[in-house]
Amino acid sequence: MSIRFDGRVAIVTGAGNGLGRCHALGLAERGAKVVVVDFGGARDGSGGSSEAARKVVAEIEAKGGEAMAHGANVTDMAQVTDMVEKTMARWGRVDILVNNAGILRDKTFSKMDLADFKTVVDVHLIGSVNCTKAVWEIMRAQNYGRIVFTSSGSGIYGNFGQSNYGAAKAGVVGLMNVLHQEGSKNDIRVNTLAPTAATRMTEELLPKEALDLMTPESITPGLLVLVAENAPSKFILSAGCGTFARIVIEETDGVYFPETERTPEQIAARLGEICDTRGKAPLPGAFDQTKKLIAKAAAAKGVSVPGLS
């Protein structure tokens, strides 16, 4: 079945260059009206110009698509609100939000200034919160919405010198998990893309041979799946170099310790059992973890706890 976005309105942040530009072009090619949002700053977030966003709009329009540019800084809620208001004034709805804007200020944690830590978290995490908050009630009223957060292997697995970036990128996964639950009754599906691509953010970090494989175009098809009408929800998609994989957060079955054995020494001695992956499973939500742990304790003690089924 062909994936199309005819009649849909999509907002893509950080869309003046790299991956965001590719996402904007990909959505437009399949029929979406696209808001190209880009502050136009340097890789570290300094400066600012709407020229890059306007160029992407021109590309879309040259191919017969519809688009508008906006220079909102995603950390400024007033600017984000203005961007959404202008979108509504022009097209009357917002169906898709791709939170892609980002900056880098890499240093080891010991050398990092806290202002640089906060700035990166503000752009990646709070910027995603601002944009999502600005469209949330619109999507609820429509009973339709598709939202994607952009994470990274740095947030999920860690990367030396990126404590600020990694913390922010892990934060958006937690945000996705909650908004998936809160948006489900209004058909708002919330997913996360964990890409690796050759962009301004990575061009100085890898050899040319690797960068040649890491095209943004090799990632965008996966993004389009995450915002499609039949999209999944609460899905973390790893994407790069034309390979796509699912990242799953799981919990092992666990080991119950009776009170007489509930000591640090006993727990340390049985870490192998605690880590046994037989019976591991993803959990739908935090309360499912609570119920699982209560159930194991209740079974061990031979007691019945109402409401666990």
How many CB atoms within 10 Å of residue 176? 24
Q: Which residues, other chains included, contact 177 with Cβ-Cβ below 8 Å and sequence gap of 6+?
A: 234, 285
**Spacing of C-alpha 187 from chain mean position:** 18
User: Catalytic one among 144, 157, 165, 256?
Assistant: 165
Listed in order, strand segments (DSSP E) in 103-204 are 145-150, 188-195
Bridge partner list, 189: 146
Q: What are phi and psi of 74, to 5 degrees?
A: -65, -15
Q: How many CA atoms lie within 13 A of 68 on its CB side?
A: 16
Report the alpha-carbon distance of residue 305 to residue 309 in Å, rounded. Answer: 9
Bridge partner list, 246: 237
Q: What are phi and psi of 34, to 5 degrees?
A: -120, 130
DSSP 184: G
Catalytic annotation on 165?
A: yes
How many CB atoms within 10 Å of residue 265? 8
Q: Which residues, other chains included, contact 272 with Cβ-Cβ below 8 Å and sequence gap of 6+?
A: none
Report the alpha-carbon distance of residue 261 to residue 277 in Å, rounded. Answer: 22
Report the alpha-carbon distance of residue 110 to residue 177 in Å, rounded. Answer: 31
Query: Catalytic site residues?
Result: 165
